[in-house]
Chain A
Amino acid sequence: MFRRILIGCLGLALCASAGNAQILLKPNGQNAAPLRVKELKADVKISGQFAATTLNYTFQNETSERIEADFIYALPKGASATYFAYWYGEEKVVARIVEKERAAQIYNYIKAPPRQRDPALVEMVGKDTLRARIFPIEPNADLRVEIHLAQALRSSQDGAFYEFPLMSEEAGKGTLDTLNFSVSVKPDASIEKVANNYSLPVTSEDDGFHLNLSQANYRAPQNLRVTLIRKRQSLRAALYAAPSGGPDGFFALALTAGQSLRRPALSISGVRVYDVLPARLPDLQAGREVIVCGRYKGSGAATFTVSGWAPSGKWSARQSAIFGKTREDNNLATKLWASRRIAQLTEANTPATIEHVVDLSYRFTLPSKYASWLAVPQSEMQRYRTEQAWADVQFFSRQLALAVSQNRANSQSGRRLKKQLDQACRTAGYDPQQALREHLTGRLNEVATALVRERHAAANRRRTHELRRELERLSRATGLAAKGYLQTNARALFGGAANEIAASIVQEKRAAKPNRKRLTALDLQLRRLTGEMNQKPRDYILRAQAQADRAELETVANRLSEEIVAGRQNAATAQQLQKKFDQLNAANKRARWDYWRVNWRPQQAYHARAHVLAHRILTAEKRAAPDATRIAAWREELTSLASKSGTGAQEFLQWEKWRVDANQPEINAHEYFMRQGDPLISIAASPDARQIVALLPDGEIKTLVFNAQNKRWEARFDIPTYAAEGDYTITVIIVDKDGKRRTLKLRYCVDMTAPQGSGKANLAINAAPRLRLEWAGDDETARVAALLPWGEKIELAPSTQHANGFFALAEVPAAFLNRAASVTYIVTDRAHNRTSVTVDMEQ
C-alpha cells in the first residue's frame, strides 16, 4: 500500500508570511507532517514590467514508504503557471494538456494496481491554485519539480518590484541544503537603477542587470525583493509585444498613472490591436499598475493615450513604445493574454465557452478549470497508448457495428468510425474486420434466425426482403458467409421438430397397426422441414430409428442388469431380457450409433455377480466340510457369468482369493456394480456386529451405522479441497458379535489431473464420406465426445484395436467436404477431470 502526501505551497510568492514552500506529509486518514524542501533553484528574467520565473524544487521523502504527493500551489497574484515537469529517474517528464476528465481517468488508470506507475496530474482547483498529484514517490527518495510562472510586476511610486517568498513561515524551519536564486533584468531606458533588500551586488552589463543569491545550508531571513527604479513620469507604460507562431502578435502592457483616474480610457494608435483584455479599463489608482493584454497586427511604433477624470478635472497622457516583429515562441505576452482570456471565458461558463477554454488550454498549454496537465513517463505512456488503442478498438468497433446494423455504415459518421477503427486497429495491431465480427456475429445470427422464421411463415414479404438485405449487409461487413448462418439456424429451429416428427413416424411404423393416413401427414411435414434445412428426410428417419433402438436397448439393459445383480440371471425374466437384448444388439450392429455404454451395463452386472460367486466359492472351500455339490454349481454359474462378462473365471477367483485370504467379507454385487452420491463407506457385515468404525487417512473416526434397507453398514465422508492428489486408504475395524476384531482396507483416489491424449479427425472419402474420429488417451480416460463442425456431438466408443483408444465414424454433410473445419474432443476421466482438444479435419 502506498501512502498519500500533501505538499502545500499555499501562499508561495503571495505574501511575505508564506515564506518558503510549506510541505506537508499526509498519510491516509492521519494528520499531515512536514515534507522538507531540500533545494531551490530559481531563475527570474524580467523584461519591461513582466517576469518569467523558472523554479526548480527538490523535495525529500524522508519516510520509508512509497507515497503519493499532493502538491498545492497558490499562484502569486497576476501570475500564471505556464509549465510543469518532474523527474522520473533520469527522465524529465513534461506535463501536457489533456481534457480534465480524461486526464483524471488516465492518471487513475496508470496509478491503479497492478501498474502503480508514475504519472503526475496537475489541475487548477481554484482561480489561482494549482494542485499536482504525483505518484509514486519512492521511500527515502527525492522528488524534483520544475514550474514556470509568468507574471506582471507590481508598480510602486519608484517604479516596479518583484518579490519572492524565501522566508519560512515557521520559526526554525525552511533551511535549504542549497539555494541558488538569480535575477536578470532586460535593459530598458526607463530603468535608472536595480536595487534589492538583500544588499546583493547588481552587475550591469550589455544584456541588462544581474543579481544572484547562492547559499548552502541556508535559512532565508526575509523574502527577496528586487526593485526596478524608474524615472518619474505622469504615465509609465511598459510593453512586451512579440508574435508567437502566427503572423499576429501578442502584447502585454503595464500602465501606471501618476494620479488616480475615474472612467479611464486607453487608445492605441500606430498598430492595429484586437481581443484586448480588459476591454474597458478599471478606475486607476495613483502609482498602481493596470495590465492590458491583447493581439496585434503588423509592428512598429505605437502611441498609448490614457485619458480620464482626475480629481482636478479631465486628464490625459500619452506614451509610445515599439510593437516587435521578431517571433518569440510561447513568449510571456502570449501566456499572459491566454490566461486572462481563459479566466474571462471560464467566468461565462456556457457550453460554447467551455469548449473554447479547452481549445485555448490545448493551444497555449495552460491548465484551466476544464483541462489539466498530465505528465506521464515515456514508457508508461506507450503502454497506456497500446492499452487505450485496444479500448478504442472495442469502442469504435461497437459504434461501427451499430452503424452497420442501422444501415449507416456509408454515412459520413459511419465512414469516420471506419477510419477511427482502422487507426485504432493499426496501433493495437488488430484486424478491423475481426474486431467488427466480434460485435456483429450475434446480430448476424439473429437476423439469420428471423429470416429463417419469416421464410417459414411466408407471411410478410417486405419483412423478408428487409431481413435479407440486412443479412447481406452484415455478411459483407464481417466477411462471413450468410449461407452458413442460414443453414445452422434452420437446423436449430427446425431440427428438433424434424427429429420429433421422425420419431413419431418410427413409432407409428413400429406400432402393431400403423395408421397410414397419419404416416403420410407426418411424412409431408418432415419433407417440408428438411427442405427448409436443405437436408434429407431419410437421415432423420434413420437417426430416429437408432434413437428408438437405443432407448429400448437401454431399458432392457437396465432391467437385465438388475436381474443379474440380484442373482436371478437364470430366471425366465432374465432369459427373456437377455434374448431381447441380444436381438436388439444384433439388429443394430451396423448402425452408426455406438452402444458400448449400454452394452457395458449387463457386462458390469455379470462382472459384479461373478465376483460374489468367486468369493462364495473360495469361502466355502475353506470350510472344514465344504459342500462340494454347491461349490460345483457355483463354479458352473461362475464360468457362465465369466464368459458373458468377457473375463476368465480364473481372474475373478484370483482377485477374490486375495480378499478371502485377507479375511475381507463378501461385497455384494451392488457394491461392484455402481453407486452415486456422496463418497460412502459401505461394508457387508453381519447386522449383529457389535461395532464398526472407519479410520480415515487424516485420523478422523467414522462410526458405521447399519442400514436395514440394504443390509449394509455405512458411513459417509467427504474429501477436503486441501487433499493432495494420490491414493488414500481407509482402515475399517469390525468388532463381530463374538468380540473378534477384523480390519479391512478400502482405497480411494484423489485425482485432479486432466486426462492426456491426442486426437485425429480424418475425412475418409468412400461411397459415403465419413469422418474418422480417433482418440489415443491414457489409463484414466473414461469417455470421449467429439463436437463436430456442423453442430453434432458424438460419443466415441472404446477402441477394439488400441488400449485406451476411442473411435467413431461420423457422416459428413456435403457442405463440409471441401472446407477447412475443426473438431473439438472433450475427454473426461474417471474422476470427471476434463480436457478439450481441437484438431483440424484432414483429408
Chain B
Amino acid sequence: MNRNTFLLRRAAPVALFGAMLLQDWSCRGALAPLYSPAPPPAADRVFSSTGEVTSLFLDGDALWAATGGGLLLRTNDGAWRKFTTRDGLPCHEIRAFRKDATGLVVAQTPRGEAIFDGERWTPIAPGKNAAKPGSSVPRVTASALWRGAPIEATFSGLRFDTPPREAAPSQKQRDSDSAQVQILALPGGVGTHVSALLPRERDVCAALFGDGLWLTDGKKWNPAPASLQVPDEAREITALAGDKTPQWVGTRRAGIWRREGESWRQNLQPDEPFAHNAQAMLVFKGALFVSTLEDGLSVRTGAGWRHANAETLSSNAPRQMVPFQNTLFVRHGGGQIDSFDGSAWHKNVFATLPRQKALAIAADRERLFAGQWGGWSEWNGRVWQHFLNLPALQGIPPMALLPDGDTLWFATQSRGIAEIERATGKIRWHDERLGLPDDWITCLAKVGTEIFAGTFVGGLARWDGLKWQVAPEFGGECVTALDSDGAGGLYVATRKGVWHRDAKGKLQPMRERAPWLEPEAQALCVVPEGLWIGTRTGIFYLKSDTDSRSDA
C-alpha cells in the first residue's frame, strides 16, 4: 500500500463521519430522501425482471417458468433458481420449453434453443422461435388436448375439432368448412381472448386475458369458483400449470402466482427491477435510475429496487435524464419534463415552454437546455431564454444536445449536426461533406477535447477539428448511447453490443470481457466502480476490477 492510499484509508472514516453530520444538518427541516443510496454491486451482476411470464412447464414436481428476463426453476423443495445469459442461455427472452429424446429440458428462445445439463444451459440450435416476416399473431392463441381431442382458442372462441358429446347445438357456432368443427364463443366480460388453457378431468380451465379463469365443459362457460379465482393483480394471465387443476398462474407483468389452499400467493424473485427494457440510466444521489420503454422508472436503491410509474410521473415512457442544480430532470417521450429533488417528484414542470414539447434535454454547470421543434430554450435555474427563431433550424426537431462552452451541438434526424455559436446564433452544419457517416444523429458526447457522435446507421464518428473520422468497426450500426470512461476513453453502446474505446483510440468489444452480455445495448452509465449497461432484456453491471466476476 502506498503512502497516499494509507492516508486516504485513515482519513475515510473521519470524512464519512463528517459527511454524515453535514447530511444530518442539511436535512433538518427537509423531507426525507425518497430513495436511499445504493452502492454498486461488489461483482459483475445481471438484473432482469421475471415479471413477464410467457410459459409454464411442470416437470414432475419441478416448475419451469419462461419469462422475458430469463428462466426460473422451482425445485420440489420449494427453492427458486434463476437462470440468465450468465448460465449459458442464448438470451433472456424465453418463449417455451420442450423435452428432448433423452428427457433433458430444452428452452426455446428467439436466439435459438438451449439444453439444460443440470447445471448450465448449452445452445443447441440457431434461432427459430423468432417471429417470421409475413406472420401475424397466430389465429390460435392457446391450445390443449382434452379427452383425446384438440381444443384451440381463437379470437372468437374455443374451437373443438370433435364436438363434445353432450354439447347443445344452440350453443355452438357451426363452422362453414366442416361439420365436425364447432366453436364455443368467448364468455362475456372484460377479457380480450383466451390466453391459456388447462384441461381438467371434467372440464377445461381457460384464462381469459384481463379477466380471470373460466371453466367450460364444451357446452357453456362458467366463471371459475371463488376458490380458483385469481386476485385483480393477476388477471393478465399468460400461462397456466397444474396437475388437474390450476396451481400456477403466469402473468404479463405480475410474475408467477401459486395457489395455496383457497388463495393465490405471488412468487416474486428477490432483487429484481420491475422492468428492464432500459432506455437511459443515471446515478442520482446514490441511486440508479433506469428509464424503461413503457414501464416508468426502475430505481435501484439501498433498500432494493423501486418502481415509479405514471401515477408519479408524467408518463410511463421516460426517455432521458439529466441532473441540474441538484435536481434530476426526466424527459418523457411525450415531451413533458418531470423533476425530482431527492424527496419528491414534480410532474410536467416546464409546461410553459413555447413549443410545449421538449424533444431533447442537456445541461452544463450553468444551464439546462431544452431542445424543441426548431430550436432550444435555456434555463439558468431562474429564467428561461429562448432560441427558437434561428431561420436555419426552423422545422427541425433536435435528437440530442451537447453544450460545449460557448458552442451548442444540436443533433438532428436528417440534417446532421448544427454547431451553434450560442452568443451569435451562428451555425455551421456538419453533414456528409465533413465526413459524417449518417445525417441521423442518435447521441453526442464530449471526451476530453473530442466530440463524438453516434448515428442511426453509420456507427460512431469522431470530430478531429477538420473532419469526422469514422470507426470502421461500427460500419452500418446504430449507436444508442455514449458515455465517457473518465480516463480519456469512451463506452459505445450499439444494438450489437457495447465497445470500449480507450484514450488511444483502440476499440475493444465488451463481450470479450463478459460474453454473457446481451447485445442490444441501449443505455450506459459509468460509475467510479464500474459500468452499468442497459439493454432490451436486462440491466448489466460490470465491475472495473476484472478479478471479481462472480455473481453474488
Q: Does residue B210 face the partner (Cβ distance < 8 Å to A)?
A: yes
Q: Does residue A699 face the partner (Cβ distance < 8 Å to B)?
A: yes
CB of A725 within 8 A of CB of B466, answer: no
CB of B397 within 8 A of CB of A693, answer: no
Known: A551-B394, A701-B209, A787-B432. A834 touches B110 (CB 8 A): no
Among A548, A703, A787, A826, which residue has the most Cβ atoms of chain B within 10 A? A703
Q: Does residue B85 face the partner (Cβ distance < 8 Å to A)?
A: no
Q: Does residue A735 face the partner (Cβ distance < 8 Å to B)?
A: yes
Interface string of A787-818 (1 = CB under 8 A from B): 10001010000000000000000000000000
CB of A726 within 8 A of CB of B132, answer: yes
B131: which A residues are within 8 A, CB to CB?
696-699, 723, 728
Known: A551-B391, A691-B210, A718-B293. A728 touches B133 (CB 8 A): yes
CB of B135 within 8 A of CB of A697, answer: yes
Known: A500-B426, A716-B317, A793-B433. A558 touches B236 (CB 8 A): no
The 8 closest A-B CB pairs, nearest first, are: A726-B133, A729-B136, A697-B131, A695-B137, A551-B391, A698-B131, A733-B192, A716-B294
CB of B133 within 8 A of CB of A724, answer: yes
Taking a contact as CB atoms closer than 8 A, the residue among B135, B186, B195 that contacts A701 in the complex is B195
Residues of B within 8 A of A (CB): 54, 68, 93, 95, 110-111, 127, 130-138, 141, 155, 186, 188-193, 195, 209-210, 236, 238, 252, 277, 293-294, 310, 316-317, 319, 333-334, 359, 391-392, 394-395, 397, 413-414, 426-428, 431-433, 438-440, 456-458, 466, 495-496, 519-520, 536
A558 to B193, CA, bound (A): 42
Instruction: Tell me the minimal C-beta distance from A616 to chain B in angstroms.
Output: 27
CB of A693 within 8 A of CB of B192, answer: yes
CB of B466 within 8 A of CB of A442, answer: yes
- Nearest CB to that of B431 among chain A residues? A793
| Stretch of A248-256, A342-350, A529-537, A739-747 contacting B (4+ beta carbons < 8 Å) | A739-747
Q: Size class of A's contact patch?
A: 35 or more
A116 to B137, CA, bound (A): 50
CB of A676 within 8 A of CB of B137, answer: no
Listed by A's residue number, 24 A-B pairs whose Cβ atoms lie within 8 Å are: A503-B391, A551-B392, A678-B333, A691-B190, A693-B209, A702-B294, A703-B236, A705-B316, A709-B334, A718-B293, A720-B536, A721-B495, A722-B111, A723-B130, A728-B133, A729-B135, A730-B136, A735-B210, A750-B133, A793-B431, A824-B432, A832-B457, A834-B438, A834-B458
A467 to B333, CA, bound (A): 53
CB of A693 within 8 A of CB of B433, answer: no
Residues of A within 8 A of B (CB): 442, 445, 496, 500, 503, 547-548, 551, 554-555, 558, 598, 676-678, 690-693, 695-703, 705, 707, 709, 715-718, 720-731, 733, 735, 739, 741, 743, 745, 750, 783, 785, 787, 791, 793, 824, 826, 828, 832-834, 836
Instruction: Tell me the minimal C-beta distance from B295 to chain A in angstroms.
Output: 10
A724 to B238, CA, bound (A): 25
Instruction: Tell me the minimal C-beta distance from A550 to chain B in angstroms.
Output: 8
Instruction: Tell me the minimal C-beta distance from A681 to chain B in angstroms.
Output: 10
B394: which A residues are within 8 A, CB to CB?
551, 554-555
Instruction: Tell me the minimal C-beta distance from A481 to chain B in angstroms.
Output: 19
CB of B190 within 8 A of CB of A728, answer: no
Instruction: Tell me the minimal C-beta distance from A787 to chain B in angstroms.
Output: 6
Among B192, B317, B439, which residue has the most Cβ atoms of chain A within 10 A? B192
A834 to B414, CA, bound (A): 12
CB of A791 within 8 A of CB of B209, answer: no
Known: A551-B394, A700-B68, A735-B210. 19 other contacts (CB 8 A): A548-B391, A678-B333, A691-B210, A695-B193, A697-B135, A701-B238, A705-B310, A718-B293, A720-B536, A722-B111, A724-B133, A728-B135, A729-B135, A733-B155, A735-B191, A739-B190, A793-B432, A828-B414, A832-B440
Taking a contact as CB atoms closer than 8 A, the residue among B133, B135, B191, B395 that contacts A725 in the complex is B133
CB of A787 within 8 A of CB of B433, answer: yes
Instruction: Tell me the minimal C-beta distance from B39 to chain A in angstroms.
Output: 31
CB of B236 within 8 A of CB of A701, answer: yes
CB of B137 within 8 A of CB of A720, answer: no
A653 to B281, CA, bound (A): 47
B391: which A residues are within 8 A, CB to CB?
503, 547-548, 551
CB of A739 within 8 A of CB of B188, answer: yes
Instruction: Tell me the minimal C-beta distance from B468 to chain A in angstroms.
Output: 14
CB of A496 within 8 A of CB of B426, answer: yes
B520: which A residues are within 8 A, CB to CB?
720-721
A554 to B133, CA, bound (A): 38
B495: which A residues are within 8 A, CB to CB?
721
Instruction: Tell me the minimal C-beta distance from B94 to chain A in angstroms.
Output: 12
- Nearest CB to that of B395 among chain A residues? A554
B431: which A residues are within 8 A, CB to CB?
793
A500 to B456, CA, bound (A): 31
A551 to B413, CA, bound (A): 18
A676: which B residues are within 8 A, CB to CB?
359, 397, 413
Instruction: Tell me the minimal C-beta distance from B111 to chain A in angstroms.
Output: 6
A677: which B residues are within 8 A, CB to CB?
319, 333
A702: which B residues are within 8 A, CB to CB?
294
CB of A698 within 8 A of CB of B192, answer: no
Instruction: Tell me the minimal C-beta distance from B246 to chain A in angstroms.
Output: 19
A690 to B536, CA, bound (A): 30
